[in-house]
Amino acid sequence: MGKIPGNLLRKYVLRRTGSDRDDVIVGPGEGIDVSVLSAGGDLVIVAHSDPIVGALKRIGWLAVHIACNDVATAGVEPRWVLPTILLPEEWGEDMVDEVTRDVDEAARELGAAVVGGHTGYAVGSRRPIVVVTAIGIGERGKVLTSAGARPGDSVYVTKGAGVEGTAILASDFRDVLLSKGVGEDVIGSAETFMKEISVVKEAVSLARAGAVTAMHDATRGGVAEALIELAVASGVMIEVWEDKVPVRRETKVFAEVLDFDPLWMISSGTLVFTAPKDKEDVIKEVLSGLGISYAEVGVVREGEVCVVIHRAQGKEVLSEPKPEKDELARLWELYPRVTS
- State the pLDDT at residue 127: 84
Output b/e per residue, 95-129; b: 16+ Cβ within 10 A: beebbbebbeebbeebebebeebeeeeeeebebbb
- Which pLDDT score is estimated for 32? 85
At the topology level, CATH places domain 154-334 in Phosphoribosyl-aminoimidazole Synthetase; Chain A, domain 2 (3.90.650)
Q: What are 265-295's pLDDT values in tens digits?
A: 999 999 999 999 999 999 999 999 999 999 9
Rounded to whole angstroms, how far apart are CA atoms 324 and 333? 13
Q: Considering Cα of 214, then 65, then 42, then 116, what sign does the dihedral take?
A: positive
Q: Check residue 235 and give its pLDDT.
A: 96
What is the spatial distance between Cα 231 and Cα 328, in angstroms, rounded to a whole number? 23
The fold for domain 6-139 equals 60s Ribosomal Protein L30; Chain: A; (3.30.1330)
Reported confidence tier of residue 185, pLDDT bands at 50, 70, 90: very high
Work out the average pLDDT over 140-162: 96
Residues of the chain with CATH 3.30.1330.10: 6-139
Q: What is the mean predicted confidence (pLDDT) over 248-258?
A: 98
Q: Which residues contact 70 (CB under 8 A, 6 or more apart)?
A: 33, 34, 48, 50, 134, 217
pLDDT the model gives residue 161: 98
- Is the pLDDT at 307 greater than 90, yes or no? yes
* pLDDT at site 210: 96
Dist. CA 207–CA 279, nearest whole Å: 12
- The 10s digit of each residue's pLDDT in 43-87 is 999 999 988 876 667 899 999 999 999 999 999 999 999 999 999
The phi, psi pair for 49, rounded to 5°, reads: -135, 135
- Work out the average pLDDT over 164-186: 95
Tens digits of residue pLDDT in 323-340: 778 899 899 889 987 654
| Whole-structure pTM value | 0.91
Secondary structure of 155-211 in HEC code, one letter for each residue: EEEECCCCHHHHHHHHHHCHHHHHHCCCCHHHHHHHHHHHHHCCCHHHHHHHHHCCC
pLDDT over threshold 90, residue 6: no
Dump pLDDT digits (tens) for 202-239: 999 999 999 999 999 998 899 999 999 999 999 999 99
Element containing residue 136 per DSSP (H, E): strand 129-139
**With bands split at pLDDT 50, 70 and 90, how would you rate the model's confidence at 5?**
confident
